[in-house]
């Protein structure tokens, strides 16, 4: 049940897309020539157009990371363990403190030097951002420079996941030139440290990347990349089929069998597709109605009919991409009794929304609509591009919203996902859930340093969230990325979705 705890404003203000093309001087930081690597530019089709003009504080940060433009103090290995990136080393300094040594010799794409002051500036700006990045939903960071190359970071509470947290793309380190004097929009283009520089952004249509020849690590093997933002999944698949692009992000399930094994690369993910129900107002403010909606849903019909077997029926919030979850899962706690069909039929029309960027979601919405209507609900469907819907979804303007969410995207540990999506102060709380048992369970998990103990506590939190019926899990996705493995090499198949194009990606 909702508590009387005050809520923070949930409205996320979308930053305006540039009306004109953004051009970034690349000077000595990068080049479009064919030196120091491969001789062929990459052609890439991305699924999600920029929603916030490449702001590092929203989902655009993930796009920048997947295009190898931005970096943080740390990066994650395939098991979610933090490894050195812009920090060469770190150690814990007391219960709430950590000390990081900044990598020597790294420079920004605009030619300025990476130092402790730059790290402090970027982390402080992220902490003060509004809306706050999801990865900071459950903590507060304070960064101070101790000399030219040492940064001390303290957190509000003990945070055993801080090294993993700092690998999040929203906490990327940018040069001073990225920050406007008036505190306005942050501009990563040309001011990051990755192997590719974002040299040109043409609104939500396309982007141009150039190799960063001052990169501190191994130089990119491709001289650059020409990126198209193509929300239509079939169009991305067709572009791959006709070789108009070398890499197509998120190939639709319906196109996978048509493309063939040589162009389709399927792998497990940590992504759960779920039906978020508005717990604050409307029909689903009543727990009995949420329970009725949950009982109406048959995930197996989605797996077989929409995903053609390329997904798993959801058992909880955390799926096969979180391999330890199944053995620790417990039954949902505190569930309400479902309203009878006769009571359901008396309710007002509900608005069920989803977005087009993942082509399976509109199909899933149609199946879910049919299942809800069979239970007695009257359903109106709204489907648009994600960039047009995010602010409304976060403001609670829909009764139900189908979304695909990577549960490990924020810190490689689901505690950040649980905090941002389901706690009273969560910055990505589409369900508008505010329940004391959930907040207490998530807070307990976040405070535990021992990995096994934290995992058990996270599953206790999952049981409380599922018991609220704020989110009805639908399917656990399997990712399908498209590229010709006979000619395109070095594409990252990352279950955490942090990487796609890397310094090693090239066409041969």
What's the pLDDT tens digit per position in 368-415?
Answer: 999 999 999 999 999 999 989 999 999 999 999 999 998 987 788 899
**Under 8 Å between Cβ of 32 and 459:** no
How many C-beta atoms lie closer than 10 Å to residue 296's C-beta? 21
Predicted local distance difference test score (pLDDT) of residue 22: 52
CA distance 440 to 175: 38
**Under 8 Å between Cβ of 329 and 313:** no
Number of alpha carbons in the 13 Å side-chain half-sphere of residue 291: 16
Residue 451's H or E segment, with its range, is helix 451-468
**Under 8 Å between Cβ of 480 and 495:** no
Predicted local distance difference test score (pLDDT) of residue 184: 67
Tell me which of 446 and 288 has the higher pLDDT: 288
**Under 8 Å between Cβ of 31 and 223:** yes
Torsional sign, CA 314, 318, 323, 325:
negative
Least confident span in 94-108, 156-170, 180-194: 180-194
| DSSP letter, residue 94 | S
First to last CA, the chain: 58
Q: What would the mean pLDDT of 322-347 be, rounded to a whole number?
A: 95
Percent of the chain with pLDDT over 90: 75
Predicted local distance difference test score (pLDDT) of residue 28: 37
Torsional sign, CA 390, 396, 402, 403:
positive
Nearest residue to 214 (alpha-carbon basis) of 75, 87, 113, 77 = 113
Residue 5 has pLDDT above 60, yes or no: no
| pTM for the whole structure | 0.74
CA distance 357 to 189: 24
Q: Which domains does the chain have, with CATH numbers?
A: 22-250+484-507 (3.40.190.10), 270-479 (3.10.105.10)
**Under 8 Å between Cβ of 390 and 363:** no
């Amino acid at each position: 049940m909702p508590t009387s705890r005050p809520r923070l404003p949930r409205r996320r203000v979308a930053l305006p897309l540039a009306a004109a093309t953004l051009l970034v001087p690349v000077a000595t930081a990068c080049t479009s020539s064919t030196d120091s690597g491969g001789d062929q530019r990459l052609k890439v089709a991305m699924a999600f157009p920029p929603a916030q003009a490449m702001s590092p504080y929203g989902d655009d940060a993930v796009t920048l990371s997947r295009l190898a433009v931005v970096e943080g103090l740390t990066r994650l290995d395939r098991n979610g363990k933090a490894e050195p990136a812009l920090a060469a080393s770190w150690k814990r300094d007391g219960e709430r403190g950590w000390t990081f040594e900044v990598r020597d010799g790294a420079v920004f794409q605009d030619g300025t030097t990476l130092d402790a002051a730059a790290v402090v500036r970027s982390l402080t700006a992220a902490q003060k951002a509004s809306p706050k990045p999801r990865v900071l939903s459950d903590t507060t960071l304070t960064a101070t420079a101790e000399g030219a190359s040492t940064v001390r970071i303290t957190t509000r509470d003990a945070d055993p996941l801080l090294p993993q947290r700092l690998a999040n793309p929203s906490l990327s380190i940018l040069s001073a030139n990225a920050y406007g004097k008036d505190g306005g929009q942050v501009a990563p283009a040309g001011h990051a440290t990755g192997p590719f520089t974002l040299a040109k952004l043409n609104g939500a249509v396309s982007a141009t990347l150039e190799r960063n020849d001052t990169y501190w690590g191994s130089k990119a093997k491709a001289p650059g990349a020409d990126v198209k933002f193509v929300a239509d999944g079939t169009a991305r698949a067709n572009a791959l089929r006709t070789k108009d692009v070398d890499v197509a992000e998120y190939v639709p399930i319906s196109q996978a069998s048509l493309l063939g094994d040589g162009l389709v690369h399927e792998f497990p993910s940590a992504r759960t597709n779920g039906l978020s129900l508005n717990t604050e107002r409307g029909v689903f403010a009543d727990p009995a109605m949420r329970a009725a909606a949950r009982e109406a849903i048959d995930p197996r019909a989605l797996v077989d009919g929409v995903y053609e077997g390329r997904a798993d029926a959801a058992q909880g919030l955390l799926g096969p991409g979180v391999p330890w979850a199944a053995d620790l899962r417990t039954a949902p706690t505190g569930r309400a009794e479902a309203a009878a069909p006769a009571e359901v039929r008396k309710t007002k029309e509900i608005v069920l929304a989803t977005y087009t960027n993942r082509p399976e979601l509109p199909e899933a919405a149609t199946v879910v609509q049919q299942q809800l209507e069979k239970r007695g609900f009257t359903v109106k469907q709204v489907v648009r591009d994600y960039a047009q819907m995010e602010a409304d979804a976060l403001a609670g303007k829909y009764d139900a919203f189908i979304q695909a969410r990577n549960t490990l995207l924020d810190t490689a540990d689901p505690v950040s996902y649980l905090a941002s999506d389901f706690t009273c102060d969560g910055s990505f709380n589409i369900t508008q859930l505010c329940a004391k048992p959930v907040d207490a369970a998530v807070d307990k998990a976040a405070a535990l340093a021992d990995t096994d103990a934290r995992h058990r506590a996270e599953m206790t939190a999952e049981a409380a969230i599922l018991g609220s019926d704020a989110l009805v899990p639908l399917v656990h996705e399997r990712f399908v990325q498209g590229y010709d493995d006979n000619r395109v090499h070095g594409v990252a198949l990352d279950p955490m979705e942090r990487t796609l194009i890397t310094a090693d990606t090239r066409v041969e």
